[in-house]
Structure 1
Amino acid sequence: MNYRMVAFVLGRIFAIEAGLMLFPLICAMLYGEWYLLPAFLLPAALLAVLGFITSHKTPKNTTIFARDGLAIVALVWVLMSAFGALPFVISGEIPSFIDAFFETVSGFTTTGSTILTDVEALSHGTLYWRSFSHWVGGMGVLVFAMAVLPMTDGRAMHLMRAEIPGPTVGKISSKLSDSAKILYAIYFAMTFIEVVLLCAGGMPLFDSLIHTFGTAGTGGFSNKALSVGAYNNPYFEIVIGVFMLLFGINFNLYYFLLLRRFRDAFCSEEMLAYLGIVGFSTVTITLNILHLYDNVGTALRTAFFQVSSIITTTGYASADFNLWPTYSRIVI
């Protein structure tokens, strides 16, 4: 195993995480939460130092074999989560490191489980970091690293194979680094559009960012105890519901649309099956719950939001589907 190259890549990831912590730090400063400065500055400084020590000099042997890729991926997820938990512990908002580690792992892996019983009691800075971890993990930490770090395809391929779930790895460009940049450009654009649409509907900018991060990462962290249902706003439910569905689609298909390869995009068996399941589930659940709502539009919107949330594993909620008839619960 090429230990020096493993340490070099980890060091670059540490430097990236240090930079990412500046965003919640800025958020905390904007809201006057000055007591949070040490909570983000100390871990960021530690990560920056570790990153410099391990990656300031490129190793002579830059080869990455399959087992090196597996080791890097495993260590990245564990160490990023361990350092990412420190702001919660230092701020005192999640005093237990084990609890903070669980919350951070849930964020970076976009699982969405939480140990928090009163999420609204958290500060803006820590809420931002908690949801931002969804956005970072949504596309994959190492995909982001390949987009911003110079790396040959030979080295990147073993990282990609270890990172991506599934038997094969596909490229939308001749170079993996270019593929990562293209995917992130689409990711950025969709994130920006959703934030703008939510703000246009009257949702505060902070709340728009939080819910967009949870939508993009399909993880579902919210700053409201009642999730999206707290707003009781049909417009928000439609926007978030549509974007949950859009972020659940294979991003390669969006690239085909940009290239005007419409046949490749719209004839994808994966997408047709995905949209078919969503369409069938939404229509039949709407008919099944129609008697519970005032009109067809409300029932349709509620059914669509829940189906979109569950099929993408986002987990946002606008209604308690445990109160729905048996058929709807089985389909969900």
Structure 2
Amino acid sequence: MNYQMIGFVIGRILWTEAALLLLPALVALLYGEPALPFLGPILLLLIAGLPFRKKPKQTSLYARDGFAVVALAWVLMSAFGALPFVISGYIPHCIDAFFETVSGFTTTGATILTAVEPLSQSVLFWRSFTHWIGGMGVLVFVMAVLPMTDGHGMHLLRAEMPGPSVGKLVSRMSDTAKILYGIYLVMTLIEIVLLVLGGMPLFDSCIHAFGSAGTGGFSNKNLSVGAYDSTYFDVVIGIFMLLFGVNFNLYYFLLVRRFRDVFRSEELWAYAAIVGAAVLAIAADILHMYESFGQSLRYSFFQVASIITTTGYATADFNLWPTFS
């Protein structure tokens, strides 16, 4: 194993996380909140990465090295990412804070918090931002901003990504990562703009766009998206949850005008068919619980989109729905 290169990559990952923590620190300053919960971990991350700052002569990374980097990166990023929760006092126990951070980076969406609204704006931002970072994969993000493995990045990507196979869109792995995260960023920004245009505050729009993009579902409202009781927000967030659940290779094919490859995707057609059938079946089943078919369709669509993409946002208590639904 190339231990020196593994250390070098880990060091760059720690410095990348330090840079990412600058955003919630800025949010803290904007809202007049203490920035120490973020500045402290930033300093620790910079110090922790110092021993690995020198790039070794041998930069090759192979399969074993890739698995080692990914495993270490997830543990270390989650451990350092938990510090803002502990230092701020909102999640004082380290294990609970670690759980919350792992849930964020893995976009799982499970939480130990019984209420999120008491949290400060900056802590809420970091909590949801972990979803956005992890949504495409932490290592994919690092490869997009810090290409550094001289053509051996595929082993990192294979170790990072779920599924039976991983392919490159273009010849260089770092360029593939850039394309994927470019699409991811643009789609996130479009959702934020649409939510703001609908009347949702900018901060709330960012939070819910991060959750939609990462398909993780952290909200800054105890009642989730249901707190707004808005058909417009339900439709916009529901559509983007489904869009972020699509294979991102297909968006690249759209960009390069390979429309035939998109329309021949069995995965896409199966996904659309399952969603369409589920929405219509559940809407019909819960029709008697709502005033109109349009209203039952609204709640059915949002819940199906949320569950099939594993996002976890909610606008209705589906435990009260009939057994079929």
TM-score interval (norm. to shorter): over 0.9
How far apart in 1 are the matches of 2:150 and 2:301?
41
Q: Which residue is 1:13 aligned to?
A: 13
Q: CA deviation at 1:100?
A: 0.3
Q: Which residue is 1:215 aligned to?
A: 212
Residues paired across the two proteins, number:
325
Q: Which residue is 2:146 aligned to?
A: 149
Q: Which residue is 2:45 aligned to?
A: 47
How far apart in 1 are the matches of 2:68 and 2:115?
36
The reply to whether residue 68 of structure 1 matches residue 68 of structure 2 is: no
Q: CA deviation at 1:151?
A: 2.9
Q: CA deviation at 1:152?
A: 4.4
CA contact (8 A) 2:60 2:150 kept: no
Per-residue CA deviation, residues 177-204 of structure 1 (Å, 9 max, x unaligned), is 1111111110010000000000000000
Q: Which residue is 1:23 aligned to?
A: 23
Q: Which residue is 1:86 aligned to?
A: 83
The reply to whether residue 242 of structure 1 matches residue 223 of structure 2 is: no
Identical counterparts, % of pairs = 68
**Structure 2 residue ranges without an equivalent (≥5):** none
With normalisation by structure 1, the TM-score equals 0.96
Q: Which residue is 1:310 aligned to?
A: 307
With normalisation by structure 2, the TM-score equals 0.98
Aligned CA distance change for structure 1 residues 67 and 135 (closer, same or farther; 3 Å): same
How far apart in 1 are the matches of 2:254 and 2:150?
25
CA contact (8 A) 1:143 1:180 kept: yes
Instruction: Name the aligned partner's letter for residue 46 of structure 2.
Output: A
> What RMSD in Å do the two structures reach over aligned CA positions?
0.9
CA contact (8 A) 1:153 1:176 kept: no
The reply to whether residue 129 of structure 1 matches residue 123 of structure 2 is: no
Q: Which of 263, 275, 284 is 2:272 aligned to?
A: 275
Aligned CA distance change for structure 1 residues 39 and 26 (closer, same or farther; 3 Å): same
Per-residue CA deviation, residues 55-74 of structure 1 (Å, 9 max, x unaligned), is 2x111111212111101000
Per-residue CA deviation, residues 244-277 of structure 1 (Å, 9 max, x unaligned), is 0000000000111111111111220001001100
Q: CA deviation at 1:212?
A: 0.5
How far apart in 2 are the matches of 1:160 and 1:260?
25
Q: Which of 198, 202, 208 is 1:201 aligned to?
A: 198
Per-residue CA deviation, residues 132-158 of structure 1 (Å, 9 max, x unaligned), is 000000000100111111234642011
Q: Which residue is 1:59 aligned to?
A: 56
The reply to whether residue 173 of structure 1 matches residue 170 of structure 2 is: yes
SS of residue paired to 2:108: coil
CA contact (8 A) 2:151 2:172 kept: no
Aligned CA distance change for structure 1 residues 62 and 152 (closer, same or farther; 3 Å): closer
How far apart in 2 are the matches of 1:135 and 1:53?
29
How far apart in 2 are the matches of 1:237 and 1:138?
21
How far apart in 2 are the matches of 1:3 and 1:92?
37
Aligned CA distance change for structure 1 residues 245 and 153 (closer, same or farther; 3 Å): farther
**Structure 1 residue ranges without an equivalent (≥5):** none
SS of residue paired to 1:77: helix
Per-residue CA deviation, residues 118-143 of structure 1 (Å, 9 max, x unaligned), is 11010001000000000000000100
SS of residue paired to 2:191: helix
Instruction: Name the aligned partner's letter for residue 114 of structure 1.
Output: T
Larger deviation, residues 2-11 vs 46-55: 46-55
